Structure 1
Amino acid sequence: MSYRKILTVLTGGGGDRAALAAAFALASPVEGGAHILALVPNPDPREAVPALGEGVSGPLVEQIMAMVEQESANHRTRARQAFDAAMAAARATPADQAPGPGGLTGEFREALGNQEDTAVCEARLADVSVMTQVDEAAGGEALLMLEAILLDSARPLLVVPKTFAPGGVLGRHVAVAWNGSRESTQAVVQSLPLLAAAETVTVIAVETSKTRGAAGRDLADYLAWRGIKAQVRQPAGAGQPVGATLLTTAGAAGADLLVLGGYGHSRLREMILGGVTRHVLYNAAIPVLLAH
């Protein structure tokens, strides 16, 4: 099992280069090749009109739609430039149909419509999705797409710091956050290609009132049956939030990737993440692979 089709959601922002660098880092070691689908979800300008309310003049409606279209065009241009640079750096071959020519291939695709729905639909047909960290204070559509992919795609999501650069190390030392939950189990199962290829695997089981630190030994035993040797760290959770403890322990261990079960639930179109997931998402200095 390996990640052969990797979705990278681009927004035209400064984080696109980091997302593409991480996507190609995931794809490069795959024997037989892998495919990067770079997706730019564009909002439908007509959807901005109902939000203006009644009594808005026709010329103003046209002006608003033109502004939305121009902003989308600027985003597409910047995203395309980042994609072309990443393709050239990775010496990847363009391909828009399966099966491709083999080796490392890439495709740039634009989509018009609801951005969350578009991102989720494409994510469901990819082995893993990649996005850059989103500024929680800024929020916006990028945050909604990130949360929608995590909670609704049934696929893993790799969230990458904006500082991740081409040629960066990804997956050499993988830390796994474990508490025995359904979400943690999903994260482990969906990260097995990375765990199997890693030089070092560290299981982190934070001791809390709800989680035994010794539970990490159980996961290490399971991984051993798959030929994956893992070391175990059992930090105490007292004194700081669990998310902070996970990041501190992963950093001290020298991990370059953290695997984490993504906690949260949806209420209509409002996505709400759990406290641990939220802390890790917005504070991690290394890539984080999440599964829900």
Structure 2
Amino acid sequence: MEAVVGLLVMLLAVSHGVETTCDVRQKDGAQCYGALGGTVDLQLMDRAAEIFSITKNTTTILRWKNNKISPNIKADKYSFTPSDGMLRISNLIRSDTDDYTLQIRNSDGALLENRTLRLSIQAPVSSVRLVTECLSQGEMRVSCSSEGGDSPQYSWTLDGHTLTEDKLLSGNHETDSITLRQDVEGVLRCSVNNHVSHFEKYQRIFTCVFINCTDSNERRITQWVFAATNTLCVEPTTDTTVDPSLICGLQTAVAALLFIGIAAYFAWRKNKSQRAEGSAVPQEREDPETSV
């Protein structure tokens, strides 16, 4: 069920695109941004004036008079809400980047207000990837790359704090690639954003260690690697197999000791029996009368 919901959300995001807003009320020369393929809402006024028009460069895209829009407007592209003075531009493309001018007039046609805004269309950031590697002295280089996205801006934090010089060997917290000093570890975050999107990527980083060993193919390896994920050199396991000849020798020794023990036991029993028989024979005594 969760997978289906996630797929629906993804499809909705693709079909509707990114929506942005820009408030240009009482502002001249405002800068607004829209996402490529998305929609932008331009807050032109609090509510519709009696007569006004909007031009893109020199082409009129919307004209309002007598509480209605001129019939030549592209309904699938531009829409206006009189109650809140909002102009919506949908299905944004690169060519929508341009200057837009709002002119408000009174019932006599006199110009009351003239304002211009700049709309810029940007491709949103779609994903972020972190790549880490150990360098020759145990430092760590981390690169942050993004898919899509016009004019991306980068920022870094370590364990929630902005990276400082005591952690950085080169680069800064606003570049796409940094080099961290030895023994720096923790949760690293790279943020990529532009005016229409924002993406973040978290990764736990570990220190680099130097290995000098021989692998299973008898190849010598000397390099810096990540301590937590080192699989290049694995310590050999102790062979617990017993030599069969040793087992045979031990069995022979045990049998010999057992035989000697049995022989000694029966010899002791025989000797004890002979002593018992000797002590049971009565001794002759001399008669005092016949003695000399």
Higher helix share: 1
Q: What is the TM-score of this pair, normalised by structure 1? A: 0.18
User: Which is higher, the Rg of structure 1 or of structure 2?
Assistant: 2
Structure with the bigger RCO (C-alpha within 8 Å, sep 6+) is: 1
- Compute the TM-score of the two structures, normalised by the length of structure 2: 0.18
